Amino acid sequence: MRISTILCAATLALAVARPASAQGNVAGDWITEFPLRLRVMNGVESSEGTGRARLTLRLKGDSVLGTWLDITSGAAQPARTRSLRGTMANGRVRVETDPPDTRVLFDGTTEQRVQMRTVFDFTARGDTLEGTEQSIAADHSSVAHSRPFSAKRETAH
C-alpha cells in the first residue's frame, strides 16, 4: 500500500512539474520576421520587404513581459522598441504591444491615424514560437485579419 502511495505521489509531482518546464521554454530571446509597410488593397496584402525583430520575453508567475526591438539592418526608419505584456495559460501565450502605436489606415480616399496594438497569440515548441498576430485599434474600431506569426530562439547575439 505504501509503495503505491509513493508512486502515485511521484507521478502527481511529475505531472504538476511539466507545465512549469513548458513555461520556461518561452523565456529568452527570439528572432522573428515581419512585413515592412504592410498594405491591404481590396483584400490583398503586399509589403515593401521583410524586417527582423528580437523579442525578449520573461515570465513572472503567469505574466509574460518583454520587448520587441526592430533589428532590421538598413531600414529607412530608426529602430523602435515596443513593450509587450500578457499572460500564459495552459501553454498558450497571449501578449500585446503596450502602449499602442500610431498606424496610418487608408481606405482608398481618406487617410486616418489610429492607435493600434499588435496582439500575438502563440505556443512554444522547442526553439520555435508559432501562432498568430493581429492588429487591433485601441478603441476596437478596427480589427485586421490575423496573420501567421513565428519566431526562432536566438542562439547568440
Helix (H, G, I), strand (E, B) or coil at 142: coil
Task: Answer whether CATH 3.40.50.300 is correct for domain 2-153.
Answer: no
What is the value of pTM for the model shown? 0.76
User: What average pLDDT is seen over the chain?
Assistant: 80
The CA distance from 122 to 105, in Å, is: 26
Q: Which tens digits make up the pLDDT trace of 101-114? A: 888 877 778 888 89
Q: Which of 137, 75, 152, 70 is nearest to 105 (CA)?
A: 137
Please enumerate in sequence order all residues whose Cβ is within 8 A of that of 119, keeping only pairs 6 or more positions apart, or say none.
94, 95, 96, 133, 134, 135, 136
Q: Which tens digits make up the pLDDT trace of 19-53? A: 444 445 899 999 999 887 666 666 666 667 888 99
Which residue do the cell numbers 532590421 mark?
A: 72
**Phi (first) and psi of residue 12, to 5 degrees:** -65, -40
